[in-house]
Amino acid sequence: MIPLEHPILLESFAHIDRSVGPHDLFPQEYAIARRVIHSTADFDFLHLLRFAPDLPQAEFDPDLPEHQAIARGIESLRHGQTIVVDVNMVKQGIQGLVQRTFNNPIQTAIDFATTADPGKTRTETGMDRCIAQFPEAIYVIGNAPTALLTLCRAIAAGKAKPALVIGVPVGFIGVLEAKKALSLLPCPQIRVEGNKGGSPVAAGIVNALLMLAWRES
């Protein structure tokens, strides 16, 4: 098996483990949280990450809702599912590990739109086009809340059925609304509560899932 974890990374993880101490997360959840903390040096993410579906009407095992997102992510990565990201910074953060593991195709929404459609952002426009081509992809949104809202509307309308949604846009305008819209959908999802998030967070989540999937392959 290809060694994927540099000794410095493992040393950083050990430091994080000592700093965190006892916690209530399941092992796979903690692996994702630890990777995000490593990417951001922000221990708040230990308490801000959410793994869902968390709705009674979700079409998944109601006894283990917190594991559905992780299980679906691992399964989809191992089977080579396309990953759609909102911006190139997320792509840059994951492509190295993707190439060393399952070589999933990576599509970047903003690259699908050289100009924005009327009344929309470029990322929103590109996301519309990605949804049409890759309705069952893994969607990873770390920057643009408009892209996440576009995806949420497509899911609600039955135009998209993503294998997993990682919804962690950062900022103040439209961010809380986009995350709230995602939280109301019965689809496999990993999100961050509040205004925090960003491309490093999104990439950290994907890289953690890749490592979990690689260990099980």
| Catalytic residue ranges | 38
| Cα separation, 107 vs 135, whole angstroms | 12
Phi, psi of 179 (to 5 degrees): -65, -35
CA trace torsion 147, 109, 76, 104 (10° rounding): -160
Distance CA 12, CA 121 (A): 38
Helices 65-78, 27-40: inter-axial angle, 10-degree rounding = 70
How far apart are alpha carbons 99 and 111 in whole angstroms?
20
Query: Look-up: residue for tokens 């990322």?
Result: 123
- The tokens for 16 are 């994080």
Residue whose C-alpha is closest to residue 160's, from 139, 135, 133: 135
